Structure 1
């Protein structure tokens, strides 16, 4: 039985149970299954069964969005998520790169692109079950990460990768049951969102979503309190927004508080632990290229401080089926305790980037571990492994940033700044703010206009996660003895402004 057949079996077995709670409406597994089948038949009408083609989904907070995703999977095709509020040109670039000809969008009057792509509406459709058609080698989805050229890079993930992820996750969480209630807090264009619906819908549990608009963080608190949520997944940045209210919070029903997407500060999560007396803490790690999450540190609250480095909680140990190497400059395998590049092998690793040439092996290399030769993905992250096998994240090998779960190339931000500031030289960095979380700071040379105006104009060119928190004009960039921009001087300038 393949992954999608397992999901379809779960839909049948749990027909009367709640699958989703979206807004003020609950949907049973039976209702969700009917919506999937109707969406699948609509898809067959336009592209035929088992076409293996990419299909776009404009991701609204609706049952139709989730049904469209599963209908695409059940039909042997793969989905490309599009955000309805992202600038049209960003969605259009994804459409072009992935070759989309068809997009599911229940709100077709608010098209996410200006391109002539056929949009279909699966709202309020129901139908009886339709057979699953797929193979493990079929693609499941294409996500896009920030690219150094200013264009996003496509990351295709196949069914085999997803199956390995689901198996690895459930192997670490055998105590999850159909009684659990998962809170989905991420945009559906992020792979971090997959956990909160892939896992519960395979065990007969329920998914609760956050309504769009308004104050997201207050909505999270409200749903946690009212719906007796048992499993959450946040970035540390989301938790940091809740920090001022910790003293008034207590969530007795929460059993699993999971983090990912950013380094997890021990002081932040220690304070949070007082709000969740019955929960355990887990901290996950995984580049998009290695399918959602590939390592997790799962621990009881009273053991939190046992695996911490430089104030940051360990990213744990690899999933079953995931192999980890820490390598040096010449790809030599390093010993426990030595810092190097974190490299990932195993069945969760993507085959290649979208449209990569057959000879482009730049993100991969071949190495041997315990007598097994395998292909490894270079994460670009620095880490070390202790004698007990726990991994510790130590920052980026290059200047790439990771903010709110998104991996970001500074060059993409700098390009947008240059376009709006008549070619002024700029540099984008990730610096820790007063709250202890990383934020994007842009320094711009010889710019005499108000930086807040530039920041607002950048919102039209960049994804929300790429818009800098602060823009600092300077006369000229300070250089170190090697003739390179002196980042330490810029950090001192930034620190003097935020702590003045």
Structure 2
């Protein structure tokens, strides 16, 4: 039984965050609280440092609902600072120190930051004896106290500051199913809401946080040793898929894996579930980290995102705004204990995001889901991933699922930037075979250009990097110049227009013309042989030549 649950059972009244931290610091005194390549500290030292920081902020007159910005490149310092802010009664907002000054100034302004703490303040406050002095009045934390502000990723527009209150942490830190063993991986950037699960959930359950920086998380020489230290970890969908593909044996040492953030791959989830307990979790920032969870069995054909775990209300609304029948997709709206206070200073965004039904506030997720026969929610697609191509509405996830049905074992992602549709794959497969499979199942306007990469590009939050995908598309356009050369030569030799999805022989070519094409393309630096020219469509030949 974890500490948080024990504390709740022991007391009839609600226990606030300050009391919870006091109790866990006293109980875990000499245990390691945080460790990693930046050093390690015990719960006793963490108690002393955060108390000193909290005391100084109280002297400055900061408290309930005041926001303090944390801006340091050192993650250990940032964790200590933000916990010190919590112990002062104020709220924190982590703003990456490597952001341009103009952007940081704008973010501070949006959240109304009353103070900024960085490395200099960390060194000064943790070296002082301020915590020993008597304060005129204690810090106050209540259920409706503002705890933190995190900016949304901006995938659907300009990033917005999400305000979360103390009451929302209980559903995460108090859910025993989310914790196993004694060591939790701390992978998430602190400006990303998964860090809330790691920091508050891990520490309030008496665990050791093992910090893993981005470089370590992608170093497959170091990673097996790091994973061997962990019992529990949350991994974003893309990072999870990468680990299942690249280091499955090391990943299997974890007792518990939580994963989510994007549409999950059933194959990857089932493979991991053979050796570890795997929870497929889902939740927008606006509902405090996780809103649903599903325990993967390993025999599913489709992996749901599951159900609410704290008695929340989940509705699936169709286009008319009424509950959809089971099996019918619609927009998921959520009312649970993690629902945000509001977007700070964004009245129009709040009006669009919050829906009131029967006097209850719901958050409109913008995600399409449906309810399966077991009452679990199955994630379909982000509504902003529904794109218009040639006048048709296309769900990019359908292209990915079709590609995976071909037998792909590794990660893939479809991307459309308004002009070109690509499918990025990480399996080493023949593109013409995959393209034939897609053509046999999808309409012509949904057939992507298939491109290969070592891995799907990820941004700092561990999610798909759309900008990097656009760059890949731009590289593909540059490579398309080679395609123009090749098709131009074929057209010139055949003296008739060419059709990309036809073979050279389909277009009436003969062996003499074939040799002429091979000779002329060789002079331009393109390697081609008779077998390829006779066997493949011109489109497949272009892809082959570009790849080689």
TM-score normalized with structure 1 length: 0.72
Partner of 2:25: 11
Higher mean C-alpha deviation, range 373-382 or range 28-37: 373-382
Partners of 1:157 and 1:376 in 2: how far apart?
Answer: 15
Partner of 1:386: 372
Higher mean C-alpha deviation, range 78-87 or range 201-210: 78-87
The 3 A distance-change label for structure 1 pair 250 and 343 is same
Q: 1:327 aligns with which of 314, 317, 328?
A: 317
Structure 1 residue 21 and structure 2 residue 35: aligned? yes
Structure 1 residue 86 and structure 2 residue 99: aligned? yes
Contact 2:144 2:165 in 1 (8 A): yes
Partners of 2:320 and 2:99 in 1: how far apart?
Answer: 40
Partners of 1:304 and 1:153 in 2: how far apart?
Answer: 37
Partners of 1:270 and 1:148 in 2: how far apart?
Answer: 29
Partners of 1:390 and 1:74 in 2: how far apart?
Answer: 39
Alpha-carbon deviations, 1:18-37, whole Å to 9, x = none? 11112263311101101101
Partner of 2:287: 290
Structure 1 segment 123-134 matched on structure 2, within 5 A: 124=127, 128=131, 132-134=139-141
Partners of 1:232 and 1:65 in 2: how far apart?
Answer: 20
Give the match's secondary structure for 1:269. helix
The 3 A distance-change label for structure 1 pair 251 and 83 is same
The 3 A distance-change label for structure 1 pair 271 and 332 is same
The 3 A distance-change label for structure 1 pair 382 and 252 is closer
Alpha-carbon deviations, 1:232-291, whole Å to 9, x = none? 1101211333345336x34564210110111110112333345xx3x2011110011111
Partners of 1:197 and 1:385 in 2: how far apart?
Answer: 32
Structure 1 segment 470-481 matched on structure 2, within 5 A: 470-471=470-471, 472-473=473-474
Partners of 1:359 and 1:250 in 2: how far apart?
Answer: 43
Higher mean C-alpha deviation, range 35-44 or range 19-28: 19-28
Partner of 1:195: 197
Alpha-carbon deviations, 1:83-122, whole Å to 9, x = none? 12334443332112112242111168xxxxxxxxxx9854
Partner of 2:150: 143
Partner of 1:305: 299
Partner of 2:69: 56
Alpha-carbon deviations, 1:282-332, whole Å to 9, x = none? 111001111111101123xxx2233x43xxx21111121311001111211
The 3 A distance-change label for structure 1 pair 75 and 322 is same
Partners of 1:440 and 1:122 in 2: how far apart?
Answer: 48
Contact 2:244 2:251 in 1 (8 A): no
Partner of 2:89: 76
Shift in Å, 1:71: 1.5
Alpha-carbon deviations, 1:382-423, whole Å to 9, x = none? 00112322110000223489xxxxxxxxxxxxxxxxxxxxxx
Larger radius of gyration: 2
Partner of 2:484: none
Shift in Å, 1:350: 1.3
Give the match's secondary structure for 1:268. helix
Partner of 1:65: 78
Of structures 1 and 2, the one with the larger relative CO (CA 8 A, separation 6+) is 1
Q: 1:361 aligns with which of 341, 348, 351?
A: 351
Shift in Å, 1:147: 4.3
Structure 1 segment 107-256 matched on structure 2, within 5 A: 122=125, 124=127, 128=131, 132-147=139-154, 151-167=158-174, 169-170=175-176, 172-173=177-178, 176=179, 179-211=181-213, 213=215, 216-218=218-220, 219-225=222-228, 227=229, 229-246=230-247, 249-250=249-250, 253-256=253-256
Partners of 1:84 and 1:464 in 2: how far apart?
Answer: 22
Structure 1 segment 339-418 matched on structure 2, within 5 A: 339-357=329-347, 361-368=351-358, 373-399=359-385
Q: Of Structure 1 and Structure 2, which has the larger fraction of its residues in strand?
A: 1
Q: Which runs of 5+ in 1 are unaligned?
A: 109-118, 402-428, 446-458, 476-492
The 3 A distance-change label for structure 1 pair 126 and 16 is farther
TM-score normalized with structure 2 length: 0.66
Shift in Å, 1:361: 2.4
Shift in Å, 1:142: 1.0
Partners of 1:315 and 1:392 in 2: how far apart?
Answer: 6
Shift in Å, 1:74: 1.8
Kindly report the root-mean-square deviation, in angstroms, between the aligned alpha carbons of the 2 structures: 3.5
Contact 2:343 2:350 in 1 (8 A): no
Give the match's secondary structure for 1:259. strand
Q: 2:47 aligns with which of 26, 33, 48?
A: 33
Alpha-carbon deviations, 1:149-199, whole Å to 9, x = none? 9532111111112234333x33x44xx46x521001111110012211211
Give the match's secondary structure for 1:332. coil
Partners of 1:305 and 1:69 in 2: how far apart?
Answer: 42
Task: Give the aligned length.
Answer: 407
Structure 1 residue 272 and structure 2 residue 239: aligned? no
